[in-house]
Every structure is written in C-alpha cells, then in structure tokens.
Structure 1
Amino acid sequence: MYKSKVEFTVPFFKKITVLLVIFLLAGSAYSQNMGSISGTILQKNNQQSLVGVNINVTGTNLSTVTDSIGRFRILNIPVKTYNLSISTVGFKTVTLYNIVVNSGNEKVFTIELEQEYSVLDEVIINSNKRSVRAATLETPLSVQKLTAEEIRSNPGGSFDISKVIQTLPGVGGGQGGGTFRNDIIIRGGAPNENVFYLDGIEIPVINHFQTQGGSGGPQGILNVFFIEDVKLSSSAFDAKYDNVLSSVFQFKQKVGNANKFQGNIRASILESAITLEGPLSKNKKTTFLLSARKSYFQLLVKAIDAPFLPDFSDFQTKITHKINDKMTFNFIGIGAIDNFKFLTPKEATPEKIYQANSNASIQQWNYTIGASLRRSVTDGFWNLALSRTRFNNNLQKFEDNQNPTPETQTLDFVSNETETKLRFDINKSKNSWKIAYGASAQLAEYDNNTFAVLQKEVRDSNNTIVQNQVNQNFTSPLKPFARLGSFVQVGKRAFDNRLGISGGVRTDMNTFTTTGMNGLKTLSPRISLSYVLADKWTVNASSGIYYKLPVYTILGYANNNDELVNKEAKYTRSTHYTTGFEFLPNNGLRFTVEGFFKQYSNVAISFRDGISLANLGTDFTALGNEAVNTNGKGQSYGLEFFAQKKLTDKFFGILSYTYYRSLYSGANGRLIASSWDNKHLLSVTWGYKFEHNWELGLKFRYQGGAPFTPFDENASRLNFLSQGRGTLDYTRLNSQRLGGFNSSDVRIDKKFNFKKLTIDLFLDVTNWYVAKNPVIPEYTWERTADNSTFKTTDGFAIKADGSNAIPTRVKNDDPQVIPNLGVIVEF
C-alpha cells in the first residue's frame, strides 16, 4: 500500500495544531463539575453477587458498600483521575487503577473478587493481594492485561486495540513494524496462530480489510469504549480454548449503565463514531451498548494525492439481561463493511503507479452475533454460548487497475466463511481445588470461486513461447462439515497456597480431513506450576501441546477440475516450554522475566513454491488458496522482560523487551529464518497526568530488521506486465534483511468538564520525529519523465517478454507522519 510522504503531512499537521490551540484557549474558562462511578461486584468462583463489599475512592473520603444484589454507586466525585479499592472479608482486595472520572459519562465496572483460601501464611496473603497481577491458576505466566483507559490513552494507538497490544512483550508488527497493518506476530509465530474472544464468544475477524487465512489488517474493528479490559496469554493456554498456537486474546466488555442513558461522539480527521448505552427496563435488569463508526479518509487521501481510497464502517452492540440473581443472559453483535478502490492521482509518480497496479481492490463484509447464558450453581457456574460468524471476501485485480477491462483481469476471488458454534462449560471451585470441563460443536461452511492468472503466456520477438500460461480456475466443492472439541482442566493450591498447579487436556476433531475424527491425534495435554518463593517473588513454569486446524482457504482449495486436493492436511502442532520469574514490589508495580521455546510440526508447505506458509499472511490477498502438504517444521525461542507501573500518583508506564528467533522449514526440510525473525522487540510507553485535566503520553518502539526474499530477475521480467509486481526467488527465501524499524508517537489530551457534559480534545501524532520506515525495495521498471509509459533500452515500445525494460526498485520508505486531531464529547 502507498505510504504518505512527510512533505504532505507536516503542513497539514501545523494547521490542525493551530486549531487545537484555539479550541483549548476557547474552553479554558469553564469550571469542572462532578462525576460518578457505579458497578456490580461478583464472586469469581460462582459469579454470584457479593453483598456488603467496601468500595473506596482512594485519596478521598468517598466510599460505599454493595447492596443486596451486589450493586454500588458513588455520586458527586470531583472530576479527576483516581484508583478504586474494593475489599471485603474473606476475599482478596482488588484495586482498579487510572479511573478517569468525568462529568459526562458515569464509569461502570463489573468486578470479580477471588476468595482468600488460607490465612495461615501472611507472606502468601500479601503477594496474592497485589492487584497489578494478571496471572491465574491456569495461566500463571505469559499473560498481560491492559485496562480500557490504558488503551484509549495509548500514543499512536488511535483507539485501535490491535495497535495498542504491540506495546506488550513478544508482540511484533510484521515486516513493516506494524505502522500500517495490525499484523499480530506473537513470539515469532505466524499471524494466523491467534484466537480472539469477546465476552467468551470467538470473533475470527477483528480488523478491517483482513487478510483471509490470517488475522491482520490496517485498522481494528473493536470499539474501545465497549472494553473494560484486555488480557493476552502467549502460552500456558487454558484447555477451554481451541485452535490456538501463539496467543489468546480475551476482550472483556463492560455492561451498559443501568442508572441512566449516556454516550459519546468521537470525531477526528479520519473517522467519526457514536456510542450509546443505558437501561432497557425500569428495574435496571436489562442494559444495552450500541455503537457505529464511519471512516472518511478523503481528506487525507487528497492531502497525499494517494492512488486509492479505503472506506469502512462498523457496528457493535451488547445487551445484558439479569434474569435473576443466579442467571444472566448476554447478546453481542459486531460487524464491518469495507471497500478499497483505486483513484487516479493528480500527479502520477512511479511509486503511485506501482501501488495502484500491484494490489487488488477489496470488498469485504463480516459479522459475528452470539448469545450466552451463565448460571450460578453450587460452588461454581456454567456457561452456554451460541454464535454465528460470516466473512465475505471479494478481491479483484487487473493488469491496469485504473483502467480495468475483462481481458486484462488477473484475479477474481469471491469467498465466504461461515461458522455456527455451540459451547458449553462447567466451572467448579471448592476449598483449594478448581475444575472446569466442557465441549463444543460447530458447523463450518466455506465456498470459494477463484480465477487467478499465476503467470501469463509470454512470447519473445520471434514469437517463441518462453513462458506457458498457468491459471487457477475453480469452484470449491467443499461441503459443510462439523468440528468437535472437549476439554477438562483441574487445578489446586497447596502448601499454604505457596504452590499452584494446574493441568488440562483437550481434543479436537473434524469430519472433513482424512484423519480428522481421530481424537487421539489432537490430544493436547498441558501443565503449569507456580510457586511463591518469598513475599513479592514467584517462579512459574508451563508446558503444553496445542493444535490448530488448517485455515478454510487450504481445506477448500480445489484444482481446475474442481477436485479438493488438501483433504490429507493435518492439524498444525506446537509444543511450548516456558519458565520465568515475577516480582511484585508493591501493588502498582510488576516485573517479569521469561524464557520460552516453541516447536512446530505439521506446518503447511506450498507445493508450488516449496516454502512454509508460516512466512506469509501480511498482504491483502488470501493466504492458503493453493495445494499444500503439512510436513513442515519450525521453532521459536527467546527471552522476555516486562515492567509495568500502574497509575498510583500521576505517572504510569510500560517497558517491554524481547529477544527471540523464529525459524521454519520448507520442502527441503532445512530450518531458516522466518519472515518474522526480527530478533529484537523493544517498546516503552509512559503517560503523565498534569493538573487541570491535561494528559501527555509518549511511546517508542524498536523492531529489529526483518528478513526478506530477493526477486527472481528473469521471472520478474516475464511477469511484471501481468502481475504489476516482481516475482520472488524462493530459492533464496529470507536471505536478506531490512534495517531496524523505530518510531515514536505522542498524544496530548485536554478535558473540559461541564454540567453533565465532557469534551476531550486530543492530538495523536504517529512517528512525530519523522523516522524512515524500512520497507522491501519493490521490483519495477523505469518510467519515462512524464510517467506515461515505460522507458526502454532501445527506445521502442515495451516488449511482451520485458527484454527491453530497465529494471529498478521502488523503495517507498519516505517517513510516514500521521497527525490525528479529534474530539470526544461525552453526554
């Protein structure tokens, strides 16, 4: 995709900065008002309401206790940033950090308290009460947690959760550093090895313009104003999660405000959005959340004279109904509509023409709807969830995308993925034991109509064929098939709670692949251990085997006779070994050091190119739409350091560093550096709360140079006219490296609180110090001075075989500075 030049964006940045100053001066005379906090306190083990829990706004005399149904509300709180302390006898104290109280919206929380099992050892009590901890009995390490406020205020994040998580340890952004796409690379794994859950409902699509068969795209879909917190687990996965190899993302949505109707409107130079919430019944048992967002990149596209226009819309909703004290019903919905089309720029340049003809136009839409029922039972609770997901993807490409004709079409790809899922699990806790078990069933439906010119017939000047035509042209005959799974997880705390041990096993099956119904082939045991060495110090370790079914594009691929060819594909297997230490010096400070090793087998390898598909998935095509074998191997290993300072006064911050290696084998069986083998990942994020509702945030990221594959000069000459890009030489896969990526982002917020209204003006600047972004130098041909055609060695028109073309490279590494000025109005 085309990247903006700094000379286009800096003058624009100056203009909006002047507007920001005017807005701030205009609002400086207004006085602050009061805000409120409300919520519900639940017992984590059985999800029942807790009565008489103390809630205290730290640093003030404001406090309350929960009522007979576990609800609380604190009114008349001076607008400011606070921490919230929740405590009661027999349960661990919880502190919520960085609670920004405004006059516009009431802050609403659902808080779970964990039972204190033992009071025999004061050391254990102190360590377990540290609220900054993100670990659980099942996942005692390789887990991080971000609150909604940390996501909203993240510099350069632009309220995009997919971008914000790149500040966490082990999370890379792909070859380009994650500046333009949200490719989530966890500890050197492929971008399609992650799973995402929204309130317990799996959501396969979380990005606009998402790569089918992958998970990345340029912009996230989730509305941050729905989110209460996000938890990332990069190992020691709970057995209830299937199809995961690298990470599990758990997005916890808040519950709509039961006390009043409220909302916010967000507008910036790139998009606008509205979020609404409130009660749906007089008895406050039913609440709703609803949002819609629309992009408008026309202003930015005009400023940089881009050859394309992306356009997207999305929606999100949640309805919660408390049937009684023991049973709660939730409904969620999320979806998006995306359209990417080409434009004719006012000033044609080689870079713009290359970008226009090397990519495909994209039309996508997707949705996930789901309903869940949770009921408390003796010593626990059960969950029942039913959901449906659909993803439609339409890709079109022509030799000249700005002047398309049927004769010059090189790609026509139309595909649908549909999943209908039913999940049920039971969770029990008694004394120091914890057990969970359950099962899942889903109906998978996939269709695919593909026409693709892989290489065009080419003749030389003597009319001799020097390259035969190779096309894909099929309609997938894949019929709907079932996917089944079951699991059990058992844990126990012992030795006065010093030792925590949890073990689990799951199996997954499907009715399509040849060995898919043999549950023993996907039997995946896992175990994790945690031991408190002393007050503030804990040592953790885990090991597990995890399986993932190949993506639908692989399973549904057919040859030109419409015959399925990948029925023999096996589940990809990844074995994890992880150990580390956690140090908690106080309630708001956390340090972790971890070492990890991941070993892969049954990885998909392209029959056509002989490379591991784990190296692919960060472009705007479809990953896996080809014949494969699943004999590939891989490994990833490294060391992580993480430090997190929660807001306890005015400062908060995150520091993470990861050194790792990522290696995969191709058809030759030799392990070589993968496309994600950046080796070094460094991220520093900090924020400071000034007086009078001013906030400043800074973020710095460094990512080591990514490997890349050089071009095959002869094949590129023959195919450039039809493909619009060079042909990679996979015999030299990832034999070269880019330079390291670095960038810094800054964010400034100023809030104005009126009576029942808050206005938040923000300026978010990505890459404020104008660093160049290392990119792969793309193959192209030299053009004439007016860019109307190609320059040739003999002065004649370009030949079909490219023999008189003059090859060159398009680097397109101009600094990309993106200022985003916006306003949020809470009411």
Structure 2
Amino acid sequence: MKKLLLTLSLSCFWLLSFAQLKVEIYGVISDSQTGETLIGANIVVENTGGGTTTDLDGKFQLSLEPGTYNITASYLGYESYTRSNFLVQSQGNSDLNIELNAAGTLLDNVEITASPFARSLESPLSLQKLSPEELKTYPGGNNDIAKVVQSLPGISGSIGGFRNDIIIRGGAPNENVYYLDGIEIPNINHFSTQGSAGGPAGLLNVSFIEGVELSASSFGAKYDNPLSGVLQFDQRSGNKRKFQTNFRVSASEAAATIEGPLFKGDKEESNTTFLFSLRRSYLQLLFQLIGLPIRPSYWDYQYKFDHKIDEYNSLIFTGIGAIDDFTLKAPDDFTPEQQATLEQVPLIEQYSVSTGLIWKRRRQDGKGIYNTAFSFNRLRNQFSGYEDNENQVGLNYQTFSRETEFKLRPTYTHFINNWSISTGFNVISSKYTNKTQNFLQDINYEAGINFVKYGLFVQAAKANIWDRLDFTVGIRSDANTFTEESNQLLKTLSPRAGVSVRLDKNDSWRWNATVGSYYKIAPYTILGFQDNSGNLLNKDAKYINSIHFVTGLAHYPYPSLKFSVEGFYKLYNNYPISIKDGVSLANQGGDFSILGDEDIISSGKGRTYGGEFLVQQKLFKGIYAILAYTYFHSEFADITGEFKPSAWDSRHLLSFTGGWKFGNNYELSVRSRLVGQTPYAPVDLERTLDEYPLTILDYDQLGANNLEPFYQTDIRFDKKWNAKMFALNLYFEVQNVFGQAVPTPPSYGLDRNEIGEIILPSSLILLPESQGIVLPSIGIVLDF
C-alpha cells in the first residue's frame, strides 16, 4: 500500500511538473535605422487572440504557453514585421527584439501585409536570413551553422560534402568574409585550411546565434575583401533578469552555455549581461571505437558581454577561440586504406582567437549612429608530416606559421529625408610569420612580413522614391603598405549600385538588380612566400577583382510564402595562378593542406554565371520549407590562358529542407541535397611516387574527369518537454538515410603485402572506394 501511494505521489508530481505553464516573454520594438524604441507599438500573437503594446520605454511583455508562434509587430508609419517560428520554452527563452523599417509617406492608405522576409537597402538581391530555430533544428547539421548555410540557393560544400567549405555560385572557398556582431573573424571552422577557409566542424556555438544573414552579391561598401559572399552572424544578448544554463550533447560534442545579468542589484533588469560557452569534441573517442586511424580533437569557447552605458551609448565585448589537435593512431588490423591514411594525412595543431570591442553611439536627435569596432585575431598553425606519423618520427615536411591582425573600423551613418548615408574607414595592422621545411620538395625558408592595410568607403541609400523604388549606391577603395601596388587607392576603386522596384501597390512583386566591383587582397600565405634564398617572390601580387551583374524577381503571394528567381554573372581578374602547377588557385583550398604557399602570377581570369530559383515557406500551420535550385557554370583560366571548368563546377545544386511541427511539441524535419557531377584533377602517379607521401595532382587534366552526382537525405525527429524548472529537447537523427556512397576522386597508396610491408620496387595501387554509411545519432538539449 505504501509503495502504491508513493508511486501515485511521484506520478502526480511528474504530471503536475509538466502541466501547462505560462511563460513570460520580454522584448523591445525599435526603429531599424536609428535604434530608437517605439512607444505604443502593437504586438499580435497569431492564432491566439493574444497581444499587447509597448510601454514608454518601447518594451513589452507577453504571457504564453510553451510552443511555437508567429508574432507580428506593427506601428504607424512603419512596415509591419512577423517574427516566424519563435520558440517559447519553460526555461531558456531569449528576448524578442524586433526592428521595424520606416514606410513611405504615401503608403499610409495602402495596406502592406506583415511579412517574415526582411529586406536590406544595401543588399536588395541575393540576401537570405535564417532564424535561430531554423539553425537549431536543421537535420543533418549537428548544430553546425556552416552546414546549415549550405541549404540556401547557390551554396555547396567541397567535393563529397564532407567539409564545411562554403562555395557560393562557383566561387572558391576563400572568397567569403565572416562577421560576428560586426567583428570580422577569419574563419568559422575547426581545422581550417590556412589561406582559404573550411574545415570539418563548425566553430560557432548555435546557442549564441540570433540569426544568420548571407549576401551572395551586392555587398555593402563597409565590407572589405568579399568576392563571393558575406556572412553576418548576429548574437543574442544574455538574459537581463536571471541566470540560465543550456547543456547540449550531440553526436560529436558536448557544450555548456551560461548567461545572465551582472551588477543587477535590486533592479528588475541589469544594464550588463553576459554569455559564455565551452565546447569539447569527442570525435576522437568515436573514431577509436570504430577502428579509424584519425583522431580529431578540439576545444572552443565563445563569449559576449553587453553593457548599456546610457540611453544613447552601449558597449559589446565579444570573442571566440579554439584549440585544434589532429593526430593519427594505427588500428589493430591492417588495411591498405587505413595505412594510406596514416601516411598521407597531415598532423595539424591549430590555435585561433578572435576578440573585439564595439562602441555604439546614437545621436540624441535620432539623425545618426556612430559605430566603432576594435578587434584582434590570431591563427597559429602547425602542419606536419612524418615518415611515421603515429609516433612523429622522421620529419618529411612541416610548416609553422602565425597570422596576427589588429583592426579598427569606425563608421558613421546619417539619416535625412529617407536617405541613409554611411561613411567610414578601416585600418588593419598585419603580421605574418612562416617557417617551412619540406625535405620532399627541397623547400626551406623562414619568412616574416609586417604591414598595414587600410580602406575607406561611402554608401548612400534612399527608400520609397516615388513610393515605389529603393536605391543604393556606394564606393570603396583599399590599399596596403606591402605590395608593389601599395598606397594606390585609385587602382582598387570599387563602385556598386542596386535598385529594388515595387511592381504592385501591395508590394507582393519586386524586381531587383545590382552591379558591383569588389576587390580582395591575396592571402598572407601568398604575400609571405619566399624562396630558399630569402627572396619574397609575390610582392607583385595584385588585388583580386570580381565584378557582379545580378537581376531577379521576387513574389510574395502570401505573407509567409516567397518565390524568387535570379540570374547572375561574375567576372574575375588578377586571380593568382600557380607557377608550379599552372592552375588558378581558385580551384584549390578545399582540402587539409595550405593554400597559396608558393610562387604565383596575378594574371588569372575567371567567370561564373547561371540562375537560381527559390521557394521558401515560413512557418504556417506547422509547416516550413526551403526548396532551392541553382544551375551555373564556373571556369577559370590556367597559366596558358585557356579556360577550364573549375573544381567547383557542379552545374546543378538542388536542396530541400522542411519540417512539420505537430501536437505535443513533436517535430519532424528532412533535408535532401543533390550536387551535380563535379570535376576533379586526377593524381599524377609518377610525381606522387617520387614525392610520396605527398599526393601530386595533374591539373592539366582538370575538367577531363567528373565525379558521380552527390546525393544525401537526412531526417530528424524532435520531442520537447517543458517543466517548471527545466526544458528538455530530445532528438533522433539519421544522416544519409539511403546509404548513398560519397563520391570522391580516386586515391592511391603504396603496394604492400598482407602484413603491411612495402613490396619492392615500390609502386602505387588504387585504393577501394568508400561505401555509403547510414549514421544514426541522438542528441539532448537541456535548459534550466
């Protein structure tokens, strides 16, 4: 009897703890340009009949049951906006801060339906945004933001999809720039390829991110060095009222995030908040259990401090860092594939850090905003290969390099009569050192360069010209104190312009067009390369130039549904070409080597062109989806001037991501990707045998061979529970549901007997192709 009563008591306690709760959600409604809060703005929660208005400080409070909502904010004289797919939990909620765009003066008598698709005056085309929920529940993404971005139109990974290289419309992986709350960060991946980008695992913690904005053309003039894409990661602020903890365990890592107010005292809200996270991978343990020789291991951390000085001034201090260690361990049983991995895969030790301080000052008359960012970043990279990689005996090659930058970026934006005029400059102190020993190719040098990069820009935008037209125009120029073109600002003048035209009175049809010229300085690995006598060989490297022509049409038949079609044409000039291999470096950077550590000439040309189609359904009756298709050509000239298909010329990119949220906090999501036949350069067997374990590619044959199309489908199933003291999300995920083999170029290893001894005279044998693997996993996310 006592046992029965105890069981009933525990059951009642359990049921009561998961009974329907009311959760308080806080937020602010403000002007997107000036940052001024809007008093009396309306907030409506879709399909609930609930809502509220902002108080004298522009703040609001909603009492909602746990679930997913579409929440609309509106204000007289402003375009309404709907925050789609906003998740409310019993614990771990973020504030709902919405910025509204001012509407045209003659639009007062026209009803514009609230839309969840935000637009930008600076980038009217090729702009995509992802919300926190779209990032966190992405199937197959494993909470990796770089993988999630690949669901957008025109974006693909490197060959086979293993790495997180972000290849936009056929451009190389190093043609993109990344910003975290306005602080430029060199890379967003662990085990990054120096001189390029990418890596197998993302660096950013998804628990920090408020949203991701990707521009594939029409880059704002404030950004230096983009040729193909700008990714802006916006972080949320820590909780102003109480301390919260988020703990996440996934297939490859464990992460803990804490946040809360500082110096709160007896106040309801603090003016100072913090976010801090620490992540640890355990891929090395999983690979050990299944008998693979690779042992990737990493730690990373991320933090953000917000401080509101007064009504018009605020500070943000933010940063990320990582420690990466890639080693090898021989398995118990010998196979030719694993032996080749032990011999050919390099050992990598990396340390990276990026940190910055941002001061935002808003004019009291509401006519302008000052933004000053000071940041520091460093990458320390050791890249090694040994005759015995496992025990690190018999050095074959090693590069130890360090990149260090200090950056100052002040900008001022002035608002007058629907005009937004921004101006500013940037100064970057750069230091690069490199000590390279390569006994296989007779390379031995130690280099060090120290110089300054700088640039300035101005951009103007006007909205609602004739109540129909948005227009932007800008120009920037960049120079440096190192290359032979140094201090010649007129050589890098980069104008850009864009228009967006409303084609009907309800703004359901828009025509957009942009044109722009953009410049990028060569990577430090190129600028700092020396010969064995200590001569800098690439001081004549030119700024790489890319000219974009883009036009498109967008249609919004319903508030939550978008159709768009775009055509694009990109021209490249001054692209670095390898003197050794005779190939454009636009074809490299998607592996675990170092890009650009060689003699080059800046005479390369290239072009990519094609079209994109997108259908996106924001959350409606529990359904959300993105269907994107891109058809394109990507080709670059070699040292003879002959155009050849690039290593990214897949021609076809098709992706679908969608999900269904149904009763009792269940969610089912699916991702499918198809990448067309990708060209590859075959192995030069004679040179590879001479320089083994280095693999030498025959770039003369690039484009003569293609991989089979790459196809993969991932599914994910989520279930959420909300108790008074915690919120729990348990998910089950299956990657590569149909067991499709990942297409990879043919690889070779030394011919050996059954016990692993080299058969003399030595020769190379073709290794077996990898088989498709179905990867099930589970994950846990706990907020308390």
Q: Are 2:288 and 2:295, in contact at CA under 8 Å, matched by a contact in 1?
A: no
The aligned residue for residue 7 of structure 2 is none
2:483 matches 1:529: no
1:43 deviation in Å? 1.2
Distance 1:122 1:328 in 2: 37
Alpha-carbon offset, residue 816 of structure 1? 3.1
Is it true that 1:485 corresponds to 2:455 in the alignment?
yes
Is 1:748 paired with 2:734? no
Query: What is the correspondence of 1:664-743 to structure 2 with a 5 Å cutoff?
Result: 664-720=636-692, 723=693, 725-743=694-712
- State whether structure 2 residue 222 is matched by structure 1 residue 254: no
Q: In the TM superposition, what are the counterparts of 1:463-612 in structure 2 within 5 Å? A: 470-478=441-449, 480-534=450-504, 535=506, 536-612=508-584
Alignment CA distance shift 1:589-1:122 (3 Å): farther
CA distance in 1, matches of 2:558, 2:601: 51
How far off is 1:568 after superposition?
0.4
Which stretch shows the higher mean deviation, 705-714 or 33-42? Answer: 33-42
Contact 2:555 2:563 in 1 (8 A): yes
Asked if the contact 2:251–2:777 (Cα under 8 Å) also holds between the matched residues in 1, the reply is: yes
Q: Does 1:35 align with 2:35?
A: no
Whole-angstrom distance in 1 between the partners of 2:87 and 2:481? 51
Paired position in structure 2 for 1:768 = 737
CA distance, structure 1, for counterparts of residue 452 and residue 18 of structure 2: 61
The SS at the match of 1:351 is: helix
Query: 1:85 is aligned with what amino acid?
Result: T
Deviations 1:658-706 (A, max 9, x none): 0001100111111100000000000001100111111110010000111
2:350 is equivalent to residue 364 of structure 1: yes
The alpha-carbon deviation at position 130 of structure 1 amounts to 4.4
1:169 aligned residue: 153
Partner of 2:434: 448
Are 2:757 and 1:789 equivalent residues in the alignment? yes
How far has the Cα of 1:153 moved from its partner?
A: 0.6
* Residue identity opposite 2:691 in structure 1: N
Structure 1 gaps, min length 5: 1-25, 456-469, 792-797
Q: How far off its partner does 1:369 sit?
A: 0.7
CA contact (8 A) 1:574 1:601 kept: yes
User: What secondary structure does 1:166 align onto?
Assistant: helix
Aligned residue identity for 2:69 = Y
Separation (CA, whole Å) in 2 of partners of 1:445 and 1:204: 14
Change (3 A) 1:496 1:403: same
Contact kept, 8 Å, 1:47 with 1:380, in 2: the verdict is no
User: Which residue is equivalent to 2:412?
Assistant: 426
Query: Counterparts of 1:33 and 1:298 in 2: how far apart (Å)?
Result: 41
* Alignment of structure 1 residues 808-819 onto 2, 5 Å: 808-819=765-776
Output the amino acid matched with 1:768: V
* Structure 1 residues 159-192: Cα deviation after superposition (integer angstroms, max 9, x where no partner): 110000000000011111x2x2101100000100
| CA distance, structure 1, for counterparts of residue 19 and residue 333 of structure 2 | 50
Contact 2:106/2:467 (CA < 8 Å) preserved in 1? no
Q: CA deviation at 1:105?
A: 1.5
Aligned to 2:318: 332
Give, in angstroms, the shift of residue 325 of structure 1.
Answer: 1.1
Q: Which moved more, 1:133-142 or 1:511-520?
A: 133-142
Q: Give the aligned residue type for 1:39.
A: G
Tell me the equivalent position of 1:146.
130
Q: Per-residue deviation at 1:387?
A: 0.4
Question: Who is 1:655 aligned against?
Answer: 627
Q: CA deviation at 1:563?
A: 1.9
Alignment of 1:96-135 (within 5 A): 96-120=83-107, 126=112, 129-135=113-119
Superposition RMSD on alpha carbons, in Å? 1.7
Q: Shift in Å at residue 72 of structure 1?
A: 2.3
CA distance 1:28–1:272, shift in 2 (3 Å): farther
Give the corresponding residue for 1:617: 589
* Conserved? CA contact 1:36–1:106, under 8 Å: no
Answer whether contact 1:245 1:547 (CA < 8 A) is retained.
yes
Structure 1 residue 648 displacement after superposition: 2.1
Per-residue CA deviations over 1:723-777 (Å, capped at 9, x if unaligned) read: 2x54222222232100000000011111111113111111122112211111111
Distance 2:134 2:466 in 1: 35
What are the residue-to-residue correspondences of 1:261-300 with 2, within 5 Å? 261-282=243-264, 283=267, 284-300=270-286
User: Given the alignment of the two structures, is residue 84 of structure 1 paired with residue 56 of structure 2, yes or no?
Assistant: no
| Structure 2: unaligned runs, 5 residues or longer | 1-13
CA distance in 2, matches of 1:32, 1:476: 65
Distance in 2 separating the partners of 1:205 and 1:674? 23
Could you tell me which amino acid in structure 1 is paired with residue 455 of structure 2?
G
TM-score by length of 1: 0.90
Residue 825 of structure 1 aligns with an amino acid whose one-letter code is L
Are 1:157 and 2:141 counterparts? yes
Matched residues in 2 for 1:566 and 1:298: separation?
A: 39
In structure 2, the residue matched to 1:466 is none
- The correspondence of residues 224-235 of structure 1 with structure 2, limited to 5 A, is 224-235=206-217
Work out the CA distance in 2 between the residues paired with 1:298 and 1:199.
32
Q: Which letter does structure 2 place at the counterpart of 1:823?
A: I
Amino acid at match of 1:695: E
Q: Is the 8 A contact 1:570 1:630 kept in 2?
A: yes
- How many Å apart are 1:401 and its aligned residue? 1.3
Q: State the partner residue of 1:207.
A: 189
Alpha carbons 2:337, 2:749 under 8 Å: kept: no
> Per the alignment, in what secondary structure is the counterpart of residue 620 of structure 2?
coil
- Superposition deviation, residue 811 in structure 1: 4.1
Task: Using the TM superposition, name which of 493-502 and 552-561 deviates more.
Answer: 493-502
Q: Aligned partners of 2:396 and 2:292: how far apart in 1?
A: 23
Distance in 2 (CA, whole Å) between partners of 1:122 and 1:643 is: 30
- Secondary structure of residue in 2 paired with 1:107: coil
Separation in 2, partners of 1:122, 1:579: 30
User: What residue is the counterpart of 1:95 in the other structure?
Assistant: 82
> Is the CA contact 2:18–2:724 (under 8 Å) kept in the aligned structure 1?
no
1:734 and 1:471 map into 2 onto residues whose CA distance is: 30
Distance 1:477 1:258 in 2: 46
The aligned counterpart of 1:23 is none
Alignment check: 8 A CA contact 2:17 2:723 kept: no
Of all paired residues, the percent bearing the same amino acid is 42
Residue 192, structure 1, aligned to residue 192, structure 2 = no
Aligned equivalents of 1:120, 1:349: Cα separation in 2 = 71
Judging changes above 3 Å, is the alpha-carbon distance between structure 1 residues 364 and 527 closer, same or farther for their aligned structure 2 residues?
A: same
Paired positions, count: 763
Q: Aligned with 2:503: secondary structure?
A: strand
C-alpha distance in 2 between matches for 1:811 and 1:185: 28
Q: Does 1:383 align with 2:371?
A: yes
Conserved? CA contact 2:29–2:98, under 8 Å: yes
Worse-matched range after superposition: 408-417 or 657-666: 408-417
> 1:611 and 1:122, CA in 2 relative to 1: closer, same or farther beyond 3 A?
farther
Question: In 2, distance between residues paired with 1:345 and 1:646?
Answer: 48
1:416 counterpart residue number: 402
Say which is worse superposed, 293-302 or 607-616, in terms of deviation: 293-302
1:642 and 1:289 map into 2 onto residues whose CA distance is 35
Q: Which amino acid aligns with 1:766?
A: Q
The CA deviation at 1:259 is: 1.7
Per-residue deviation at 1:30?
4.3
Is 1:657–1:683's contact at 8 Å kept on the other side of the alignment?
Answer: yes
The alpha-carbon deviation at position 339 of structure 1 amounts to 0.5
User: Could you tell me whether the CA contact under 8 Å between 2:526 and 2:596 is conserved in 1?
Assistant: yes
Encode CA deviations 1:286-325: one digit per residue, 9 max, x unaligned. 1111111001124421332110211111111111111111
Q: After the TM superposition, which residues 390-409 of structure 1 pair with which residues of structure 2 at under 5 Å, given as runs?
A: 390-405=378-393, 408-409=394-395
Instruction: Assess if the C-alpha contact under 8 Å between 1:477 and 1:564 holds in 2.
Output: no
